[in-house]
Amino acid sequence: MKIYSPPSVDTLNTFHALPEMYLVLSPSFHILTASDLYLSSTYRSRMAIEGKYIFDIFPNNPDDSGFEAVEILRAALSEVVQTNSANAMPILRYDLEDLSTHQFVERYWSISHTAVFDADGQLSYIIQLVKEVTELVLESNLVKQQKVDQQKSLIEIEQLNGERELMDKKLTKTLKELRETNLYLEEKVKRRTDSLKLSEEKYRNLIEQSPVAMQVFRGEDMVFEVVNEAMLTFLGKEPDIIGKTLFEGVPEIVGQPIVNVLYNVYRTGVPFELMGEEVILERNGQKIVGFYDVIYRPVYELGKISGVLGIALDVTHQVSSQRSLAASEQRFRTMAEASDILISTNDAKGNLNYLNHAWVNLTGWQTKDLKDFDWSSFVHPNERAEVEEIFASALTAHSSFFNEFRILDKVGNYRWLRIKGNPIFDGSGNFDGFICSSLDVTEEKQYLLEIQSVNKALIEANESQFLINEKLQQANNKLKLSEENLQSAFNAGELGSCSLDLKTGIADMSGRYRSLYGLPVDGEITWEMVLKSVEPEFIPEVNKVLENAVKFGSPVDSTYAIRHLISGERRWMRVVGKVNQDLHGVNESVYAVVMDVTPQKEDEQRKNDFIAMVSHELKTPVTSITGYLQVLQRLFKNTGDDFTGSVLDKMGRQLTKMTTMINGFLNVSRLESGKIHLDRQRFNFSELLADIEDEYKHIVSTHNIQFTSSEEIILIGDRDKIGHVVNNLISNAVKYSPIHSKILLSCTKANYTLTFSVKDEGEGIPEEDLPHLFDRYYRVQNVEARNIAGFGIGLYLSAEIIKSHSGEIWVESVRGEGSTFYVSLPLNS
């Protein structure tokens, strides 16, 4: 029967300080002891575990029935007991209970067991060496997977190393004990040494067969001890480098930083890892730059560093693809910055993360301005909702989008943008955001708006044109109607109408016009044909009227005698017309209406003849009476009979009035029949005025008549008739202004023209009467004038006299203030 002999307390105590995780178990799997590192790594105390059944202390994770860690470990331990040999387990997930929370934490372990026998060769205890590999296991990508492999290899090597070290120590101790106790122990030592050799063999094989490039350097000179196939390929060397030093085998490494690293690991024992380190190596005579993850671990022998394990992973591909990614990113930025197109990018969440220079130029915003705010708040409120909707759906669908909207610039103006966004995907096909290109289309938009408003205006104009056309149609209808009315009126009044084209001289005449003049019933009528009918004495006047119309656009109103072109009869025609102007204001035609005024003219003539005859007949007796009166005045002059004298004076004044009136009528009739004769002579107008002044001073005491003295003014004309005009104006002023009011006469000379005026302070003349004041027999019909005697011929005669001297006569009058009559006469005639 086998008797179980447990290890001594000393033996157990030696495990406490070992720098690895050790657990010492009895063959019944009770915990005998554990290294301090084991306790700290599993958060357990020595007291709590020593003497306990291992699976009571480390039970299965009840939450995860998929992992039966206890069963696996128990099987491995049982195998040690049954076979009395060491074993190493594949990586084992064995979740560890956190005693404070009673939660199980996911953990991965590399576990190996070694059986230790007593002097009788009975299993005394089991050494469990544990390494935690949780981190390595959790790494997922290919590179990391490779690292896990490499880590695994490393763990195994270290495991072997550790095992070897442990064995060394154990062996030494055991040998000592054995030497003291049993010679068999030496045999035991021998067995152990063999086993170690086997271990070393195993570790060499492991390295040599590993697909990961590995090598072991030995000693201070870094002699290649083990170099596997993968490492030889990596270095571009042949197996003959084994046994050579690093510098002999790989001379190109001299001076590269990696050498220092290697020596540092050898000297300090601190493992070293370099990720993506650039290394230049010579392969087939060519220098090749590559990037490597390089791991150096110290290799121990009898507790002392004896060499360095080197592992190299070629990551050139990953590094260069990272670098080319960075380079392409840089290229994109450079391109985007130089572009005039607005370029922006958003991340996968839609946040703006880049705006190029063109953006900054246009809007004044920098990426940071828009990043910190909600960028859509810069969009014009009219487009904001639509912009957000389009962007949100493109973000969800990872699809491209297109939009036009206004964005606020830093100055506060809105700019129109046309934006196109395309989704970006990374190498694995994951959505990585948007790249957007935008154009500033503000001017294009404004242009479009202008076109729209022009179009609108055109449509409106068309509509109003339509209305205008309608109105025009209505107006035409009205015009037609009024033309018809006019024609009826013309017909009723026996009026003829004519339009004369002033450019061509061609007259368009109505039938009535033609028949009034005896012109051909149809065919073209020229002005010359019309003139042929006019009585020669009226031709100058008719021409003058036409000339004034053509030159000055003056209205036409002329009455003249014609000789009917067919009957030869003398007829009086009155032509009233108006001048029409073209668009440039040039007089282009005269439109005139003609009426036969022969009956009126004949009536007038009869009246004139009668007045002339009566005046003439009255003149002889009045002249005789005047003579008799003068005789009587002489006879009674010296009698002193005042009464008779004053009666005779009054008779004289009345006779003078009567004579003046008769003379007036005679003059009118003479004027009408063209019998007025001008007796032109050179005379001094100032003298004439002085004579008249003298005369008035004696006969008028009712008014304050003032003469302004003037220089000598020599005039050529009819002295008596011009004197008559001056007398008439003064006597009117006396007649039509209140007693004691002032009458001012003045006379000026300028620009070869004499201007004479008579100003009174009378009632003035109503405006509507002013144009007719110089007409024959015209009198103002107001209350003031009603009681004042007169026939309305004084101003008519005055005007005719002044006109016959090529002068002008006119009046200015303000009601209630008075009137001023002016006469102007040319001085050079």
In the complex, the residues that contact ligand ADP under the rule CB under 6 A are 728, 732-733, 736, 760, 762, 765, 773, 778-780, 785, 790-796, 819
39 or 793: whose CB is closer to ligand ADP? Answer: 793
Helix (H/G/I), strand (E/B), else coil: 373: coil
Which CB atom, from 204 or from 779, has the smaller least distance to ligand ADP? Answer: 779
Q: Report the alpha-carbon angle 276-281-285, nearest 5.
A: 155
Least CB distance from residue 695 to ligand ADP, whole Å?
18
By C-beta, is 255 or 816 nearer to ligand ADP? Answer: 816
Output 480 or 657, the one with its CB closest to ligand ADP. Answer: 657
- Residue 753 has φ and ψ, to the nearest 5°, of -130, 140
**How many residues are listed for the chain in this entry?**
829
From residue 388, how far is each of 273, 368, 374, 381 by CA, in Å? 50, 20, 11, 11
Residue 763: CB minimum distance to ligand ADP, A: 6
Shortest CB 742 distance to ligand ADP, Å: 13
CA distance 576 to 497: 10
Decide whether 517 or 796 has the Cβ nearer to ligand ADP.
Answer: 796
Contacts for 275-278: CB closer than 8 Å, 24+ residues apart: 275/315, 276/315, 276/318, 276/319
Min CB(689)–ligand ADP separation in Å: 18
CB of 699 to ligand ADP, least distance (A): 17
Decide whether 159 or 819 has the Cβ nearer to ligand ADP: 819
Strand ranges across the sheet with 342-346: 352-355, 342-346, 431-440, 414-425, 401-408
Taking the least distance from each CB to ligand ADP, the nearer of 431 and 778 is 778
Residue 817 beta carbon to ligand ADP: minimum distance, rounded to whole angstroms: 11
> How many helices, marked H, and strands, marked E, lie in the chain?
25, 31
Residue nearest to ligand ADP (CB): 790
Token pair for 78: 């049982």
* DSSP symbol at 443: H
Angle at 281 between CA 276 and CA 287, to 5 degrees: 115
Place of tokens 């004439």: 688
Q: What is the CA radius of gyration of the chain?
A: 71
Tokens 């910055």 label which residue?
A: 337
Alpha carbons 61 and 48: distance in angstroms, whole number: 19
What does the angle CA 408 – CA 412 – CA 416 come to, to the nearest 5 degrees? 35
Q: How far is the CB of 688 from ligand ADP (least distance, A)?
A: 20
Q: Tokens standing for 297? A: 């671990």
Question: Buried b vs exposed e over 26-56: b needs ≥16 C-beta within 10 Å?
Answer: bbebbbbbbbebbbebbebeeeebbeeebee
Cβ proximity to ligand ADP, 364 vs 790, nearer residue: 790
We find the least distance from the C-beta atom of residue 604 to ligand ADP, in angstroms, to be 18
Min. distance of Cβ 708 from ligand ADP in angstroms? 18
Nearest distance from residue 736's CB to ligand ADP, in Å? 3
Strand ranges, E, within 192-266: 213-218, 223-227
394 or 725, CB closer to ligand ADP? 725
Phi, psi of 742 (to 5 degrees): -95, 140
How many other C-beta atoms can be found within 10 angstroms of the C-beta atom of residue 216? 22
The three-point CA angle 541-543-549 to 5° equals 105
Task: Report, in Å, the least distance between residue 653 CB and ligand ADP.
Answer: 16
Residue (723 or 790) nearer to ligand ADP, CB: 790
67 or 822: CB nearest ligand ADP: 822
CA angle 798, 803, 808 (to 5 degrees): 85
